[in-house]
Amino acid sequence: MKRCRVLQIFFFLAVTAVLSGCSVSYSTGKSSDTVSTLLDSVSGSSTSMSGGGDVASIMQGYADDIAAVTYLWVSEKKSEEQFLRLLTAVARTHGIVDWEQTTATFEAMGRGLYQAGIPREGIVKLPFFRKLADNARYALVLQGYTQV
């Protein structure tokens, strides 16, 4: 529980950094130095899939960070654009190239929504998740929500 709170604080700092002008550079495929540094400190490492470490621990760190970003997005009532930028930054930090095609992303979002206290029936009312309602990814969100 204490680790979760620490993650939340660091991701709040990451959100603040993004909102204050630090942006994710889509052209180079890397997050800005400030956001990357903050995310590295949250996860404890920025081991990429090709840079070593076992896949299970990399994916667990990734899922934990996605859950924390989702929790903060809901708690802080940030925009969908800000949420997408943070998801992209977290994915890149963990060596995930296409977070939208990664099952762990959506399951972790469900966990973050549960931790934020969003009722199951309220998930579909959130802007990002409204678009997923008729999609297989929404089922993954619900799966993550119920596995907490």
pLDDT by residue (tens digit) across 106-148? 999 999 999 999 999 999 999 899 988 888 999 999 999 998 7
Q: Give the orientation angle of helix 33-43 with respect to helix 80-93, to 10 degrees.
A: 70
Q: Flag the least confident range among 46-50, 55-59, 143-147.
A: 46-50
pLDDT at 15 over 80: no
pLDDT tops 70 at residue 57: yes
Q: For residue 71, which amino acid is it? A: Y
Of residues 15 and 140, the one with the higher pLDDT is: 140
Cβ atoms of 85 and 18 closer than 8 Å: yes
Q: Mean pLDDT, to the nearest integer, of 36-52? A: 45
Residue that is written with structure tokens 């929504």 in the block: 113
Please state at what angle helix 55-76 crosses helix 33-43, rounded to 10 degrees: 110
pLDDT of residue 41 exceeding 70, the answer is: no
Rounded CA gap, 71 and 110, in Å? Answer: 9
